[in-house]
Every structure is written in C-alpha cells, then in structure tokens.
Amino acid sequence: MSAIATQYLPILLFLAVAIAFALIFVGAPILVSGLTGTSKPDTVKLSEYESGFPAFSDSRAQFDVRFYLVAILFIVFDLEAAFLFPWAVSLHWSGVPGWWAMMEFLGELAIGLVYAWKVGALEWE
C-alpha cells in the first residue's frame, strides 16, 4: 500500500462507520414501523384526538410568507431585548465605549425596523 493510501485510511474508515450508523439510525425506525403496523391507517388512527372536531383544511397547507417575516422580525427584536439586559448589568465595566457600541447596535436595529415598516413587512391583511 502506498504512503498516501495509508494516510487516508483512517478517514475512509471513519466515513464508512458514519455512513453505516446513518443507515442504521434512518433505516431501523422505518423497518420497525413497517413491521409493527404503524403505517396501516384505520378509522381510530385517523380520528381527531386533540380538539375533538374535524380539521378545517389540510394540515400541510402552505403558510403565507408574511407569517415567516413577522416571525423573523420577532426573533430579531427578542434577541435585542436579550442583549440589552446583560449590557445594562455590565455597563459599569465597559464604560463609555460600551455605551456607544450599544447605541450603534440599537441604531442599526432601528434602521432595520424602519425599513421593515416601509416595505410593509409588519402589515397583515
């Protein structure tokens, strides 16, 4: 065996073990569910169990893009609040440079909010 092949042998063995584990962890649940009968629907399995009444529409219906835009904006401004509390607690250590850095951060977020407002990302029809 050449020197290059012996250098790559551990990587190839690692790759083979990773593929084997991936196939086991994906294939075994599919095989077990097929053998245990979970893939055979009947009236009891298909009945409503959470709310007690039939669904209005298909559960796999697509959501409007605006739903995701509002969700992303919520996450951004929620993270802003998460950054403000540790900053306020540690402001006496960071001093004036820390205060200006946070003001720059809040300014950038304000620009983002104004932009989202202008393009209509916060409007819901």
Question: Tens of pLDDT along 85-102?
Answer: 888 888 888 889 999 998
Q: How confident is the model at residue 116 (pLDDT cuts 50, 70, 90)?
A: confident
What does pTM read for this prediction?
0.46
Annotate 6-55 with DSSP letters as a single string: HHHHHHHHHHHHHHHHHHHHHHHHHHHHHHHTTT---TTTTS--SSSS--
pLDDT at 92: 87
Angle at 13 between CA 12 and CA 15, to 5 degrees: 65
Question: Tens of pLDDT along 48-74?
Answer: 666 666 666 666 777 777 778 788 888
- Residue 120: is its pLDDT beyond 90? no
| DSSP conformation class of 58 | -
pLDDT at 55: 64
CB 67 within 8 A of CB 45: no
Domains and CATH numbers, the chain: 1-61 (no CATH), 62-125 (1.20.58.1610)
Share of residues in the chain with pLDDT > 90 (%): 22
Query: Which amino acid is residue 108, in one-letter code?
Result: E
